[in-house]
Amino acid sequence: MTNFATKKLYKYLGGIHIHSKYSDGTGDIDAITKAAKKAGLAWIIVTDHNNIDVPEGIINGVYVIKGVEISPPSSNHYLALGVNNIIDYEQEPQRFVEEVREQGGIGFVAHPDESDKRKNKYSPIKWLDKKIIPDGIEIWNWFSVWADNYTDKNIFAQIYSFLFKDRLITKPYTETLSWWDDLNNTSDEVVPAIGGIDVHALKIAKHIFPVKVFPYKSMFKTITNIITLKEKLSDDFKTAKSQILEAIRLGNNLIVNRKITKALPEVTISNSKETVCEGETIELDDFTYIRIKLGKKFEVRLLCNGEVIWENKAKEVEIPLLQRGKFRIEARLNKLGYAYSNPIIVR
Ligand SMILES: [Zn+2]
Ligand SMILES: [Zn+2]
């Protein structure tokens, strides 16, 4: 289990948006948890399409929480985390949002902005009505970005896309990030974001030479959610489950593509009295600053209420804050996204 304490804070790496044998994934929970463990994940949330039969608990040393990806055939996929019953996908999407809340879960719009310009067999699945207000948004989905950049026009392009799959993973869609910022700009609370893997461990060319593409272990080393807790994760599964879901709900979560570098980023805001992490709130005073610590030098952007207010290359930087608002950071290397923090509120 990865867990490093910083000023009595505990960080736990997790994977969200995973498909198993209960829908169109190829792995069972034994294989999936073993892969997660090897990839350094402490917790995972399995979200099969319209199915919630996957077992929950501490399995092979990994906390497994179940959810469901409410999946109508061609649009409006919604990740329902921490629910116990499936939700009818033939209803209006507004009902998805409401039913997840009624079950005490938390819902995230999945891959809202997949591209219409795809040149392959994977049809885009978008969220059609952005007037519907969800609990949160999956701002980055590994498979969506891959499928947007994949072309199956010839065998060479196909082999390249599978062999060098990580080169196809660019960054979250600008439209998705702006929608997320808009939602945050109209709410007093943090509207949280998550990163999704959307791993299936698909088998291709089944009859000629079966190859498992995107196996669980290597996918679990890509888009990761680093949650911050004030206390250690409990050994009691039920308690740990609510700790994890609460951190996700509050936005105590930093989204990172670990394929870019293994070093993990940290973002905090301090004033003269205290230090807080993503998803938290702090008072503005004369000594308020944000501290961004990355494993290596990245192009870093600091945003306040969705507007870029600072941009530079940095490995570690402290920037004084002179205004109130919701602050979040983005870090990338050329075209490749690396880290996206949930907002911290400065009041
Ligand atoms: Zn989906
Ligand atoms: Zn999915």
Which of 225, 257, 289 is the last residue in one of the domains?
257
CA of 232 to the centre of ligand 1 (A): 32
Ligand nearest to the CA of 20: 2
Residue 210 has pLDDT above 90, yes or no: no
How many domains would you assign to the chain? 2
Q: Which pLDDT belongs to residue 204?
A: 62
Residue 18 Cα to ligand 2 midpoint, Å, equals 7
φ/ψ (deg, to 5) at 305: 50, 35
Domain that holds residue 335: 266-346
145 and 289, same domain (yes or no): no
Could you tell me the distance, in angstroms and rounded to a whole number, from the CA of residue 318 to the centre of ligand 1? 38
CA angle 322, 329, 110 (to 5 degrees): 135
Do 222 and 316 share a domain, yes or no? no
Q: How far apart are the C-alpha atoms of 341 and 117, rounded to whole Å?
A: 29
Q: How confident is the model at residue 120 (pLDDT cuts 50, 70, 90)?
A: confident
The CATH number of the domain where 305 resides is what? 2.60.40.10
Question: Is residue 347 pLDDT above 50, yes or no?
Answer: yes
35 and 89 in a single domain? The answer is yes
Are 160 and 237 in contact, with CB atoms under 8 Å apart?
A: no
Distance in Å, CA 288 to ligand 1 centroid:
40
Name the least confident of 114-118, 190-194, 251-255: 114-118
| Mean pLDDT value of segment 15-33 | 93
290 forms beta bridges with 269, 319
Are 150 and 253 in the same domain?
Answer: yes
CA of 85 to the centre of ligand 2 (A): 18
* Sign of the Cα pseudo-torsion (239, 241, 245, 251, in order): positive
State whether 188 and 301 are in the same domain: no
Closest ligand relative to 45 C-alpha = 2
The verdict on 165 and 312 lying in the same domain is: no
**99 and 72 within one domain:** yes
Band of residue 235 on the pLDDT scale cut at 50, 70, 90: very high
Q: Look at residue 206 in the predicted model and tell me its pLDDT.
A: 52
Of 235, 257, 279, which residue is a domain's last? 257
Distance from Cα 273 to the centre of ligand 1, integer Å? 43
Distance separating the N- and C-terminal Cα atoms of the chain: 35
Mean pLDDT of 110-125: 88
Q: What is the pLDDT, as a whole number, of residue 207? A: 55
Instruction: Give the Å distance between the CA of 69 and the centre of ligand 1.
Output: 7
Please give the distance, rounded to the nearest whole angstrom, from the Cα atom of residue 111 to the centre of ligand 1.
7
Question: For residue 161, what pLDDT band results from cuts at 50, 70 and 90?
Answer: confident
Question: Which sign does the torsion angle of CA 328, 193, 225, 8 carry?
Answer: positive
* Pair (253, 297) in one structural domain: no
Integer CA distances (angstroms), 328 to 186, 301, 302, 305, in order:
16, 8, 6, 8
Ligand 1 mean position to 230 CA, how many Å? Answer: 32
- CA neighbours within 13 Å on the CB side: how many for 126? 14
pLDDT at 5: 39
Q: CA 225, 237, 3 angle in degrees (round to 5)?
A: 40
pLDDT at 147 (0 to 100): 86
* pLDDT for the residue numbered 156: 79
Q: For 81-95, 153-167, 190-204, 231-245, which range has the lowest pLDDT when averaged over its residues?
A: 153-167
- Kind of pairing between the strands at 136-141 and 106-109: parallel
Question: What backbone torsions phi and psi does residue 206 show, to the nearest 5 degrees?
Answer: -50, -35
Alpha carbons 112 and 114: distance in angstroms, whole number: 6
Q: Which ligand is nearest to the CA of 142?
A: 2
| 63 within 8 A of 232, measured Cβ to Cβ | no
Residue 340 has pLDDT above 60, yes or no: yes
Q: Do residues 339 and 232 share a domain?
A: no
**284 in the same domain as 321:** yes
Give CA angle at 61 (56, 65), nearest 5°.
25
Question: Which residue pairs from 155-162 have beta carbons closer than 8 angstroms and sit at least 24 positions apart in sequence?
Answer: 162/204, 162/211, 162/213
Nearest-angstrom CA–CA distance, 311 and 276: 22
**Alpha carbon distance 346, 318 (integer Å):** 16
Contacts of 152 (CB under 8 A, 6+ apart): 119, 120, 121, 158, 161
User: 236 and 294 share a domain?
Assistant: no
Distance CA 322, CA 329 (A): 16
Task: Return mean pLDDT, the chain.
Answer: 92
Q: What is the rounded CA–CA span in Å between residue 28 and residue 26?
A: 7
Phi and psi, residue 253, nearest 5°: -155, 130
Over 60: is that where the pLDDT of 205 sits? Answer: no
Kindly give the distance from the C-alpha atom of residue 144 to the centroid of ligand 2, in angstroms, as a whole number.
Answer: 9
Question: Between 168 and 229, where is the model more confident?
Answer: 229
Q: pLDDT tens for residues 247-273?
A: 999 999 999 999 999 889 999 999 999
- pLDDT at residue 214, as a whole number: 81
Confidence band for 294, pLDDT divided at 50, 70 and 90: very high
Distance 59 CA to ligand 1 centre (A): 25
Give me the pLDDT at residue 262, please: 87
pLDDT confidence bin for 211, thresholds 50/70/90: low
The reported pLDDT for the residue numbered 6 is 46
Handedness of CA 245, 251, 256, 258 (dihedral sign): negative
Q: Which ligand is nearest to the CA of 67?
A: 2
Residue 220 sits in a domain whose CATH number is 3.20.20.140
Which pLDDT belongs to residue 104? 96
Q: pLDDT confidence of 24, banded at 50, 70, 90? A: confident
Say yes or no: 87 and 162 in one domain: yes
Give the residue-averaged pLDDT of 172-179. 96
Which of 257, 290, 316 is the endpoint of a domain?
257
- Whole-number Å distance, alpha carbon 241 to ligand 1 midpoint, is 23
Model pTM?
A: 0.94
